[in-house]
Amino acid sequence: MTLFYFFTSSPQGTESLLAKELKSLGATKVRPAQGGASFEGSLETACRVCLWSRVASRLLLPLSRFVIETPQDLYDGVAVIPWEDHLRVTDTFAVDFFGIGQGIRHTNFGALKVKDAIVDRFRNQTGIRPSIRLERPEIRVHCRLREKRVMVALDLSGESLHRRGYRVQPGEAPLKENLAAAILLLSDWPNLAQNGQPFLDPMCGTGTLTIEAALMAADGAPGLLHDYHGFMGWLPMDPQVWDRCLLEARERFQVGQKNLPGFIGLDADPRAIAAARSNATKAGLYAAIRFECQPLEHLAKESGVKTPGLLVTNPPYGVRMGRTDEAILLHQRLGEILQRHFHDWHCAIFSGLELSDQALGRTAKRKDVLKNGSLSCLLLHYPPMVVPSRGKILCDERDSQQEKSVDMEPFINRLLKNKKKLDHWCQNNDISCYRLYDADIPEFALAVDVYETAIHVQEYLPPKTVDPDKAGERLRKAVAVIPQVLQCKPEEVFLKTRMRGQGGARYGVFQRKNHYLEVREGPLRFLVNLEDRLDTGLFLDYRQVRTLVWEQAPGRRFLNLFGYTGTASVYAAAGGAHSTVTVDLSNVYLDWAKKNMQINGFTGENHQFVRDDCVAWLDHNRDRFDLILLDPPSFSNSKAIAKPLNLQSDHVNLIRRAVARLHGDGVLIFSTNYQRFKLDETALEPIVHIQDLSHKTLPLDFSRNKKIHRCWMLRPKKKNRV
């Protein structure tokens, strides 16, 4: 019996699973490596790997390894391989090339050099050449270049083994089937299934995890639906070997379906459930799986399941789809449901959300690191909690201490107290958007803002001295009680957390869904975005500064520097300004400002919007204004500006430039949120009268933080007037 040396690739983090699986399929000399495992085996072993491996991605037969310095070296190294031992001159082949370097600047060029070497070898020997066919050729050549080293192999799988063939409708951001299988193997599903325990995925999407679980329990070969492999046209392959393996797999699947445990897949999206049912039908498992449309909020222990089993799910984590803050809330709700209804189940959560166990509210007993494409993810394992005879659930000591340490009553009482205090003030001042809570209790380091019917929650970044598990538990419980205390729907609570997460869930932009909510502030209306950014488009602490602009605006030409979403320009126009000019470097904010002006009825040539660096604009623009609002960032190093802006060191020069644009009796309102800022009054007193309005512009709902912003009114002195 001829033995061959193979290499099988698999998702990162599954190499040990793959090695164990290969041994069970008859492979010898198995050696795990990064991204796969090498082994020795016969032709039958190769057939069994392609048919039965649940974890493998591709099966490669290495033919040659060599070092190159130039593209010609690549050609020469491929040309000496005896290709006539692997394909006929009348056969077709394709080349997949990976990597660049040594004069190979594009993978297409590398593939062309390999193809030329193979074709020329046949032409030199026989006078004719084999043909290229990209789809389903007799053999597929796999060539990889890395740091001058080249490996040339035959791809005996032909196409990726993760494609089982049952996924008729893949849906959005689906798990690859072999990654789903690895998750189930790491969750000990084969043993649980053998004991007759049921399976549940409460957020099943198009059903990949559930179908893979059913395939395992039914002894179904994952490659049974494949009608093409790369070894089918390979000269050494004996078709009878493959036929025997295929017949055995069909018989085993038929027997394995007779005594299956229960399989349940649930999802809130009816389209996903329809796709899951189609996929299960294609897999031959429609009768074995119950797919139903049900949102996570309605999930309780399934009444039709008499014994605990395995709950595995892959919740959205806001990277490829959905919102990151939505994903955090979803993890929090899932964690609560697991503790309440599934404490006696084996549970495994696969998530790419950073600090996902913190969001779930429990410390995982074990964590496996796996790659989902380029994303680094965790598989979190929660075994059943021990239930003694008296019926009380025993958590592990850390969980128990953590639960006891989180007392929600002070937070709830403070929310109610603040609401009672502010309700009368809001009603008297026609305020519908305000700050309800601002880290009043140090243990609950949150800012809770009301935007009419919506609630915007920001988590302050906790200091390193705070236990992250404890901080996460407080955040989770706080977000859970807010809808109850404020009598709103859970979906009306928008969480912005400053924990590091993939996809940009940091300070600044979270995502770009562009969903806007129209809110009132007195007689005016503004668009806010509670989802995409840490800021919402309406700085609530600047309410009194905007009112100051209104009071100073009648008949004046108003300039809004670093204009943001133009809320101050709306106030100026509403206050009777003759004209407004809003300057900002961001097209997003300028478009937002235009919309804010439009919904309040301020359009036309008197209201202009300028995209420019404010510092540069002050230098080249010679227009004069009667009222200027200057609210610069504390620091900016945008590539679109001439040089970085540091407010503390640059504010005197910036104010001088703004004052130069004022008419004789003009007013400059200067403000900043930079809490360590110090106005250089010594440098400014020769040119302006300075009036500190910081206390006057501090609204009641921000009175806990006296340094939330600073504000001054500056008037040019006579000798500096134009």
> For the chain, what percent of residues have pLDDT higher than 70?
90
Determine, yes or no, domain membership for 479.
no
Burial of 29 (0-12, 13-18, 19+ CB in 10 A): exposed
**pLDDT tens-digit readout, 213-239:** 999 999 999 999 999 999 999 999 999
Q: Residue 469's pLDDT is what?
A: 67
Alpha carbon distance 403, 362 (integer Å):
10
pLDDT-based confidence at residue 375 (cuts at 50, 70, 90): confident
DSSP 324-335: HHHHHHHHHHHH
Mean pLDDT of the chain: 89
Residues 87 and 198 grouped into a single domain? no
- Domain residue limits at 605: 539-720
**How many angstroms separate the Cα of 373 from the Cα of each of 21, 173, 376?**
22, 11, 8
Whether 361 contacts 473, CB under 8 Å = yes
Q: Residue 462's pLDDT is what?
A: 66
Indicate the range of 168-182, 273-287, 500-514 predicted with least confidence: 500-514
- Close Cβ partners of 445 (under 8 Å, ≥ 6 residues apart): 439, 459, 460, 462, 471
Determine, yes or no, domain membership for 412.
no
Phi and psi at residue 43, to the nearest 5°: -60, -40
- DSSP 8-state symbol, 174: P
Q: Residue 368 above 60 pLDDT?
A: yes
Q: Residue 325 above 70 pLDDT?
A: no
Average pLDDT over residues 169-197: 91
Domain boundary among 382, 403, 424: 403
CATH number of the domain bearing residue 308? 3.40.50.150
Structural Rg of the chain based on CA atoms: 33
Residues 200 and 98 grouped into a single domain? no
**pLDDT tens-digit readout, 591-638:** 999 999 999 999 999 999 999 999 999 999 989 999 999 999 998 877
Alpha carbon distance 113, 99 (integer Å):
13
pLDDT-based confidence at residue 395 (cuts at 50, 70, 90): very low
Q: Residue 392 above 70 pLDDT?
A: no
Q: Residue 512's pLDDT is what?
A: 52
- Close Cβ partners of 409 (under 8 Å, ≥ 6 residues apart): none
Average pLDDT over residues 88-114: 96
Coil vs helix vs strand at 339? helix
Alpha carbon distance 58, 162 (integer Å):
8
Q: Residue 304's pLDDT is what?
A: 57
Residues 330 and 215 grouped into a single domain? yes
Whether 234 contacts 154, CB under 8 Å = yes
Alpha carbon distance 361, 334 (integer Å):
9
Q: What is the pTM of this model?
A: 0.63
Q: Residue 283's pLDDT is what?
A: 96
**pLDDT tens-digit readout, 546-589:** 999 999 999 999 999 999 999 999 999 999 999 999 999 999 99
Determine, yes or no, domain membership for 145.
yes
Determine, yes or no, domain membership for 33.
yes
**pLDDT tens-digit readout, 240-272:** 999 999 999 999 999 999 989 999 999 999 999
Whether 58 contacts 160, CB under 8 Å = yes
Residues 620 and 716 grouped into a single domain? yes
The larger pLDDT score, comparing residue 330 to residue 108, is at: 108
Determine, yes or no, domain membership for 425.
no
Q: Residue 476's pLDDT is what?
A: 79
Domain boundary among 374, 403, 432: 403
Residues 100 and 182 grouped into a single domain? no
Residues 651 and 548 grouped into a single domain? yes
pLDDT-based confidence at residue 484 (cuts at 50, 70, 90): confident
pLDDT-based confidence at residue 721 (cuts at 50, 70, 90): very low
CATH number of the domain bearing residue 143? 3.30.2130.30
Residues 185 and 143 grouped into a single domain? no
- DSSP 8-state symbol, 589: H
- DSSP 8-state symbol, 137: -
Unique residue bearing structure tokens 């869904």: 513
Alpha carbon distance 537, 526 (integer Å):
8
Q: Residue 365 above 60 pLDDT?
A: yes
Residues 269 and 382 grouped into a single domain? yes
Determine, yes or no, domain membership for 29.
yes
Determine, yes or no, domain membership for 448.
no
Residues 312 and 385 grouped into a single domain? yes
Coil vs helix vs strand at 446? strand
Determine, yes or no, domain membership for 232.
no
Whether 261 contacts 197, CB under 8 Å = yes
Indicate the range of 42-56, 235-249, 322-336, 594-608 predicted with least confidence: 322-336
Residues 587 and 700 grouped into a single domain? yes
Average pLDDT over residues 519-523: 95
Residues 116 and 196 grouped into a single domain? no
Residues 147 and 183 grouped into a single domain? no
Query: How many other C-beta atoms can be found within 10 angstroms of the C-beta atom of residue 301?
Result: 16
The larger pLDDT score, comparing residue 43 to residue 406, is at: 43
* Domain count of the fold of the chain: 3
Domain boundary among 350, 377, 403: 403
Q: Residue 502's pLDDT is what?
A: 35
Q: Nearest-CA neighbor of 688 among 710, 709, 707, 670?
A: 670
